[in-house]
Amino acid sequence: MLPARKRTLLPAITLLAATILSVTPPASATTNYQDLNHDNASILITPSQLMNGSPYLLTVTLPNRALSVTGNWQSHPISFFSNSDRRTWFAARRRRRRTKPRQLPLIIEAALKDGTHQTLHQQLTIETAPYLQVPLTVPDKFVEPDPKALKQIAADKIVKDKTFASSASKPQWTGNFLPPLRLAPESDSFGNQRLFNGKIASVHRGLDYHAKLHTPVAAINSGRVVLARPLYFEGGCVVIDHGLGLMSVYMHLSKIEVTAGRRVRRGQIIALSGASGRATGPHLHLGVRWQGSYLDPAKLFEIQMPPRPK
């Protein structure tokens, strides 16, 4: 039985429909310019309604081949990659979990092969969505660690920082991302606020699945294993790098079936579920980390991913 939950409100995001296109001249005064209109280029953002911390896919379609496509949102740069024709460009981004309701501009600029620059603007509107409060009970050593445990926690942090410090420069995934367990129901959602033993409050940065001990756990997509070892809070832990700063994290495992450095395919069994680390019982915790922050895995499974560039 799940613990009692208290409903709270935090922001989510939806998209305004209007797209405005403009042409900006390149730096060289001798370069020819090309006028473009609403029918020549487009921005598609999926899904159309996003929760805070959720991923979204940007698809930019251009009438002509581009040398590069860049973007900016909330003063953060956006990196795009293209398919083989260099007319369709993709980028994956996430919403911050806590943002006050307001409109935010998205700006995308394409440098075309003929020397012109095309700028696309789209307004985004943040709205509100519910999250829950979940009280949990765990052994006291996970709430008030002793000196020996604190030393291990510090060492684990160094290992994790090194693991997350770099990622493949190109997408390693193959097709859409799939859940790690086929039949296990979800038990605790991303973004819920959790209170351990009535003392330590934290935000749940992943998705939990009810799973009996030793249930096979599959990789949610192809990539390279960058960590496979036990950690203090996470228990048995596997991290897979899917490229471009996108990583999946599997926690509380009873047995790890892969080693760091090994390449795995989507759906491959990488571990068995367990109750190791700071866990209230047997289950699988799945985290998805995107360019330094965690996002909602359930939303990632809803996105139709672009083909991996050749």
Note whether 16 and 123 are within 8 A (CB): yes
Mean pLDDT is highest, among 27-36, 183-192, 229-238, for 229-238
Q: If pLDDT is split at 50, 70 and 90, which confidence band does 43 have?
A: confident
Q: Which region among 17-21, 154-158, 178-182, 197-201 has the lowest average model confidence (pLDDT)?
A: 17-21
The residue that leads in pLDDT, 58 or 265, is 265
Q: If pLDDT is split at 50, 70 and 90, which confidence band does 95 have?
A: low
Q: If pLDDT is split at 50, 70 and 90, which confidence band does 178 have?
A: very high
Burial of 285 (0-12, 13-18, 19+ CB in 10 A): buried
Instruction: Give backbone dihedrals phi and psi of 162, rounded to 5 degrees, phi first.
Output: -65, -40
**Rounded CA separation 254/262 (Å):** 19
Q: Which region among 101-105, 147-151, 164-168, 269-273 has the lowest average model confidence (pLDDT)?
A: 101-105
Mean pLDDT is highest, among 56-60, 104-108, 174-178, 251-255, for 251-255
The pLDDT tens digits of the residues spanning 238-283 come to 999 999 889 999 999 999 999 999 999 999 999 999 999 877 789 8
Residue 194 pLDDT more than 80?
A: no
Q: Which region among 80-94, 157-171, 195-209 has the lowest average model confidence (pLDDT)?
A: 195-209
Coil/strand/helix, residue 38: coil
Helix runs in the chain, H state only: 147-164, 297-300
